[in-house]
Chain A
Amino acid sequence: MGPEMNETDAAYRGGAEAISAAPSPSGWIPRLHGTLFAAALLAGGAAFAQPAAAQDAPPQRIVSLNVCTDQLLILLAPREHIAAVSYLARDPEVSMLSEEAADIPITYGNAEQLIVAKPDLILAGAYTRANIPLLRQLGFNVVEVPPATTLDEVRDNIRAVGEAIGETEKAEAMVADIEAELSALRDGDSERPVVAPLYANAYTSGPGTLVDAVIEEAGLTSIGKELGISGMQKLSLETLLMKRPDALLLPDHRYSGDALAYDIFRHPALRALKDQIPSLDWDSAATVCGTPNLVQVVKRLHAFRDELIAAKASEAAAP
């Protein structure tokens, strides 16, 4: 079991980085067949696991292994049905509900922990360290929720989690709330200022990311879309200067301890650009997962867009 644990540990760190720094899906390491060895070893342990929950009774001991399903679970399920959430749920850099997660047990998602916890439902995401096929072989009921990259997928995921945990009505109400708030914001969106979201290591998020979907929904266009960048990609400082977006979106907080990744925010060329165009400090953790909190982000960006358009108009009016 020892070497297997190390391997999953390494895979997990890759996955965790993919969530927090979110550069690309390359952080995800495909499971190796070597784990079949562990599966064979643990086959006897299958008896410990509860059989899949019966259709009528909602799951009573739910474990979530992904920071996004963690948050949907906390929002939708009664507290007493949550057995554990992932440790990332407590990390304020990626989780919007880190305070709520403070008194919920956490899991690092390894098979040993799960066998002891005996969950009757496991919620997992794409960047989950746990070996999903192994968990299924052990008899666990695993529901995989893919990461949302559009607002439609956010709604689908809320419904999927609601259905899995037996809270369909609550999930539908949540989806309806989101829909109502978002439709109130839509106003034709004739003018779409270009914004450049910039993260550590000079990454930006283009079409195909949840951030881009949120920017679009707020009546803005991302610089990634303008440049034909898809997904999370490095944005060269030279390209940014030449393209000159209408505004910058910069992260409003950082991990403790310094890193070269932050050198980009100290670069004199970026500082000069920041002095010339408006910038918004925003909480990039709010766009890591498709939770109802996205509505607040869209609202804030929409208000920022209105400011940008107003500033442009007054600039044009001035002689």
Chain B
Amino acid sequence: MSQSVTEATTVDREALSGDRLYRRALIGLIALTLALFVLSLGLGTATLSPTQIMGALFSTDDTASPVWLIVREIRLPRSLLAVLVGGALGMSGAALQGYLRNPLAEPGIIGASGGAALGAVLAFYFGLSYAIPFAVPFAGLLGAAAAVVTVYLLAGRGSAPLTLILAGVAISAFTAALTSLTLSLSPNPFAMSEVVFWLMGSLADRSMNHVYLAAPLIILGCLILLLLGRAIDGLSLGEEVATNLGINLRRTQILLILGIAMSVGAATAVAGAIGFVGLIAPHILRPLTDGRPSRTLALSFFGGASLVIAADCLIRIITPDRELNLGVLTALLGAPFFLVLILRMRGTNYS
């Protein structure tokens, strides 16, 4: 920095470099997501060449060809869902952390995923998926909304992280117990072993049907969360400042719950409850936002998407025959991260 530069231009330049950093990070993450998406299309028990995969990807419907079926009906939905589910969780985590001004807020920890799983399980095992087309993702939405509202009422905004965690743990444990109870009461003996799917999540054997069911709600939910950018930035300066900036707190609150419920509810309804994604993604990406919480939203979408799609690729590489659950890998990555976070927070007084 030359000494002749005035203070004003320094600020401008810093703001500019912040913008540039954010833009570069966003483009980088989109590229990473795309690269992992392509890698994901190449992984599976059948050995297909890149030309075969690309050919099937861009050809017209050809259900007589096994390659077309594998690429378009097995691998494409799996990869699309990884992006959508990871994106939903990442962005929800960023929105919750920004709005609640609490670094530990995350759909899994505050019980939104657990509530969504319970809703989806109730709808699915009572046979509603046959009766009403969108019953399962919609029930997931309701479950997630109920969990978020309950935790919100218990802990409130700006409360100590501990209060939020306690409320979340209670809701998570309660919904997990009810999920297990529902499954063990099912007349179908397979239901009991499916507890693992609902509590740990998986993308194995998902189909385009699941994409059609979840994608509209996830995309709509994420768009609603993106609308909250200005409000989250305002709230980072405190509630009074935010109100003075013309931010309608009530509207923000409703949109947040709606956005979380739609995205997390639909994601959980098709992939089960996947933990830690919404916690890790915003934390890793925060240094790239130049102190503006609203920027974590878009970044965390692609960060979460990269994380889930990478985990899903790893699963197919480590155990191709007997697929691990996604939650196993995200928890393996997430738990140490969480510990570091707690160690760092020990020095901070939140009261």
Which residues in A have some Cβ–Cβ distance to B below 8 Å? 13, 16-17, 20-21, 200-202, 233-234, 236-239, 241-242, 244, 254-264, 266-269, 272-273, 275-276
In the complex, the answer to whether A17 meets B74 with C-beta atoms within 8 Å is: no
Say how far B163's CB is from chain A's closest CB, in angstroms: 36
Contacts of A238 in B (CB 8 A): 44-46, 70, 74
Nearest-neighbour CB distance to chain B for A176, whole angstroms, equals 37
Residues of A within 8 A of B125 (CB): 257-259
CB <8 Å contact, A264 and B63: no
| Residues of B with C-beta under 8 A to A241 | 46, 66, 69-70, 74
B84-143: which have CB < 8 Å to A?
124-127, 129-130
Most chain A C-beta atoms within 10 Å of own C-beta, residue among B45, B190, B193, B321? B190
Q: How far does the alpha carbon of A266 sit from the alpha carbon of B186 in the complex, in Å?
A: 20
Q: Would A257 and B186 count as touching, CB distance under 8 A?
A: yes
- In the bound assembly, the distance between CA atoms of A238 and B45 in angstroms comes to 6
Contact digits for B302-334, partner A, Cβ 8 Å, 1 yes 0 no: 000000000000000000011000000000000
A276 in contact with B64 (CB, 8 Å): yes
Determine which of A21, A236, A275 lies in contact with B63 in the assembled complex, contact meaning CB atoms within 8 Å.
Answer: A275
- Is residue B301 within 8 Å, beta carbon to beta carbon, of the partner chain? no
User: In the complex the two chains form, is A258's CB within 8 Å of B124's CB?
Assistant: yes
Q: Do B209 and A260 have beta carbons less than 8 Å apart? A: no
In B55-97, the 8 Å CB interface with A consists of 63-64, 66, 69-70, 73-74
Measured CB to CB, the closest approach of chain A to B266, in angstroms, equals 17
Asked whether A21 and B46 contact (CB < 8 A) given A267-B207, A268-B209, A272-B73, the answer is no
Q: Is the CB of B187 within 8 A of A255?
A: yes
CB-CB under 8 A from B197, the residues of chain A are: 260
Contacts of A262 in B (CB 8 A): 190
Q: Give the distance in Å from the alpha carbon of A16 to the alpha carbon of B70 in the complex.
A: 34
Q: How far, in Å, is A241 (CB) from chain B's closest CB?
A: 4
Take A237-B74, A264-B205, A272-B69 as given contacts and tell me if A16 and B45 are in contact as well, using a CB distance cutoff of 8 Å. no
Please give 13 more A-B residue pairs, beta carbons under 8 A apart, in addition to A17-B193, A237-B205, A261-B188: A21-B189, A241-B69, A242-B46, A244-B66, A258-B188, A259-B190, A259-B194, A260-B190, A260-B197, A263-B205, A264-B205, A266-B209, A269-B73
Residue B169 CB within 8 A of the other chain: no
Q: Are B46 and A269 in contact (CB under 8 A)?
A: no
A16, A234, A272: the one within 8 Å of B321 (CB) = A234
A-B contact pairs, 26 of them (CB 8 A): A17-B189, A200-B190, A237-B74, A238-B46, A238-B74, A239-B46, A241-B46, A241-B66, A241-B70, A241-B74, A255-B187, A255-B189, A256-B188, A257-B127, A257-B188, A258-B124, A258-B126, A259-B188, A259-B190, A259-B191, A261-B190, A261-B194, A262-B190, A263-B205, A268-B209, A276-B63
Instruction: Write the nearest CB–CB distance from A69 to chain B, whole angstroms.
Output: 21
Contact indicator A20/B189 (Cβ below 8 Å) = yes
Q: In the complex, what residues of B have CB within 8 A of residue A20's CB?
A: 189
Residues of A within 8 A of B208 (CB): 268
CA distance A268 to B71 in the complex (A): 12
> Which 8 A-B residue pairings sit nearest by Cβ, starting from the closest?
A261-B190, A257-B188, A238-B46, A259-B190, A269-B73, A241-B66, A236-B45, A272-B63
Residue pair A242, B190 in contact (C-beta under 8 Å): no
Count chain B residues whose beta carbon lies closer than 8 angstroms to a beta carbon of A. Answer: 32
Whether A16 and B187, one on each chain, are in contact in the complex, defined by CB atoms closer than 8 angstroms, is no
Cβ–Cβ contact A257 & B70, under 8 A: no
Cα–Cα, bound, A254→B130 (Å): 15
- Residues of chain A lying within 8 A (CB to CB) of residue B321: 233-234, 236
Q: Which residue of the partner chain A has the closest CB to B77?
A: A268
| A242, B66: Cβ atoms closer than 8 Å | yes
CA distance A263 to B78 in the complex (A): 14
Q: Which residue of B lies closest to A242 (CB)?
A: B46
Known: A258-B127, A259-B191. A234 touches B322 (CB 8 A): yes
Shortest CB-to-CB span from A270 to chain B, Å, is 9
Residue in chain B with minimal CB distance to A254: B188
Proximity bits, B185-219, A CB within 8 Å = 1, else 0: 01111111110010000000101110000000000
Cross-interface CB contact of A255 among B45, B129, B190, B194, cutoff 8 Å: B190
Taking CB atoms, residues of chain B closer than 8 Å to A257 are 125-127, 186-188, 191
- The residue in chain B whose Cβ has the minimal distance to the Cβ of A94 is B189
A87 to chain B, nearest CB (A): 13
Q: Closest B residue to A13 by CB, please name it.
A: B192
* Other-chain residue from B70, B187, B189 in contact with A269 (beta carbon distance below 8 A): B70
Chain A residues, Cβ within 8 Å of B46 = 236, 238-239, 241-242
- Chain B residues whose CB sits within 8 angstroms of the CB of A255 once the complex forms: 187-190
Q: How far is the CB of B182 from chain A (nearest CB, A)?
A: 11
A239 to B74, CA, bound (A): 12
Q: Which residue of A lies closest to B321 (CB)?
A: A234
